[in-house]
Structure 1
Amino acid sequence: MKPTPCPSCQQPMVKKTFERLLHGTVVLDLCFNCQGIWFDEFESVQITPGGTIKLFELLHEHHDDQRTPLRDPLKCPRCSEKLLHGLDVAKHGGKFNYHRCLQKHGRFTTFAQFMIEKGFVRQLNPAEIDELSAKVGIIRCMGCGAPVDIRRDHACGHCRAPITILDPSAVEQALTRYQHAEVRRTTRDVEALGDAIVMREREKSRQKRMQEPENAGIIDAIDLLSAGAEFVWTLIKR
């Protein structure tokens, strides 16, 4: 598989595999030098909750790595066209930045912005920023690594990312949410499974009676145990 060049530093990105919703896997391209992720179209919403936790753990391992500020412009690794800056609102309410390809090849997101999107990182409100600015004048942007004078700015002047922190309570809530979602995704509904087995066996009996009209008056006994075992095995093999 051909390496994907980073939209910022143009160095080959590292490919990591994560489980995909429904079936299969998603291969993401990560640049630890720029702390960015390239998502081909729709990949960011195709990762399972368990895969999101795995990706968060990987990003957090490199959270304090020395990184290179993002270049301007950023280029699409598929068509080399300039990426367009975008702003969106996550399901939990936080705003996150990204850079997308106008040809719909995908989007580039920094580690910090991905963690905002998935609810692991909390944005500071104006009062919290004012309180922090009295103690620390300049901080490093979590989005691109550029310096931000929070005595004057409440967002990064380079990539426009908001001031954020890795809040332990936000991390705990996000991990709990994704863990519960993963359990629901991987746990079969016993009642629904039982109903499916009964309906399946009834349909088989009906078709059998239609093929053998001389036995129309005979009631077929449904072996739910063997039928259930066969049905569960079919699900497992998918």
Structure 2
Amino acid sequence: MPNIPQPIPARTTPGGACPSCQAPMAIHHFQRQLNGEVSLDLCFACQGIWFDEYESAQLAPAGVLALFRLLHEHHADLRQPWPGVLRCPRCRDPLLNCLDSTRAGRFAYSRCPQRHGRFSGFAALMIEKGFVRQLNGAEIDDLARKVQSIRCSGCGAPVDIRRQHVCTHCHSPIVILDPDAVRSALDDFGKKAYRQEHVDPHAVADALLANERAKSQVTRQERKSLLEADLSDLVLGGIEGVWNLLKR
């Protein structure tokens, strides 16, 4: 099994309130490119990461892999939607909604107008680092025939994929784990221990949806919720898939 770097244990951020829920975030330390460490503020309840200016670009490949390990460890945590207004943990100004692009597609984030940093959902991080890609129109239509709605990977709000291609709450696009993108990203990060056979992205989508349905059938209340709205979070399943791939 590859030697996946372990994150340094977290401590509560002094005075650092989550831009979404306002609870104290936790600081985790990850390897920086060239030398040193990058300290990131994370809120697992909101699936959000606060990056000070340029911190995301400063993460070393080993730091990215350690971060994914940490996200995997918390993939089953209870989550909550983001409010309409997010606030900078440094100056308390409302954050601005922004979009950026990578080879994997566009991702949404919120930045401080005073340039103190930005708040990104876990899904946006996976797009930014090349582990997931946006679904195209045909794939969304195909997925809509199987389920009516999914849970937004950015903020947890429901998205009716029959009518919407992005979340109307946080404007995050619908994304999914892409086996080819995972292989490419792992290769970029110097990781060679991954499966070589071709995997159909549609088959992966089906597997992730089935996995989320199975987890939703644990209690009567969850079964009732499943009947009322068939919700699935593709990116959290993707985080688990990436981690299982890394362990091979």
Which category of TM-score, normalised to the shorter sequence, fits these structures? 0.7 to 0.9
Which residue matches 1:23?
35
Q: How many corresponding residue pairs? A: 180
Which residue matches 2:83?
71
Which residue matches 1:138?
149
TM-score scaled by structure 1?
0.72
For 2:181 and 2:79, how far apart are their aligned partners in 1? Answer: 24
Which residue matches 1:12?
24
Of residues 98, 105, 112, the one that matches 2:116 is: 105
More RCO (CA 8 Å, sep 6+): 2
For 1:165 and 1:79, how far apart are their aligned partners in 2? Answer: 34
Ranges in structure 2 where 5+ consecutive residues have no aligned partner? 1-12, 192-248
Q: Following superposition of structure 1 onto structure 2, how do residues 105-184 of structure 1 map, counting pairs within 5 Å?
A: 105-179=116-190
For 2:139, the aligned partner's letter is E
Q: SS at the partner of 2:17?
A: coil
For 2:77 and 2:71, how far apart are their aligned partners in 1? Answer: 10
Superposed CA deviations along residues 169-219 of structure 1, whole A, max 9, x for unmatched, are 322321221126xxxxxxxxxxxxxxxxxxxxxxxxxxxxxxxxxxxxxxx
Larger strand proportion, structure 1 or 2? 2
For 2:79 and 2:184, how far apart are their aligned partners in 1? Answer: 28
TM-score scaled by structure 2?
0.69
Which residue matches 2:62?
50
Contact in 1 for aligned 2:166/2:172 (Cα 8 Å)? yes
Q: SS at the partner of 2:75?
A: coil
For 1:46, the aligned partner's letter is Q
For 2:57 and 2:31, how far apart are their aligned partners in 1? Answer: 12
For 1:156, the aligned partner's letter is C
What is the Cα deviation at residue 12 of structure 1? 0.8
For 2:69 and 2:188, how far apart are their aligned partners in 1? Answer: 15
Q: SS at the partner of 1:26?
A: strand
State the 4+ residue runs in structure 1 displaced beyond 6 angstroms.
none
Larger helix proportion, structure 1 or 2? 1
What is the Cα deviation at residue 3 of structure 1? 4.3
What is the Cα deviation at residue 121 of structure 1? 1.2
- When the two chains are superposed, the root-mean-square deviation of aligned CA atoms in Å is 1.6
For 1:96, the aligned partner's letter is F
Contact in 1 for aligned 2:52/2:118 (Cα 8 Å)? yes
For 2:31 and 2:125, how far apart are their aligned partners in 1? Answer: 17
For 1:7 and 1:148, how far apart are their aligned partners in 2? Answer: 22
For 1:24, the aligned partner's letter is G
What is the Cα deviation at residue 59 of structure 1? 1.7
For 2:173 and 2:75, how far apart are their aligned partners in 1? Answer: 17
Superposed CA deviations along residues 138-184 of structure 1, whole A, max 9, x for unmatched, are 1101111000000111111111111111233322321221126xxxx
Contact in 2 for aligned 1:50/1:179 (Cα 8 Å)? no
For 1:62 and 1:171, how far apart are their aligned partners in 2? Answer: 20
Identity %: 60
Q: Which moved more, 1:100-109 or 1:60-69?
A: 60-69
Superposed CA deviations along residues 2-21 of structure 1, whole A, max 9, x for unmatched, are 24110000111111001111
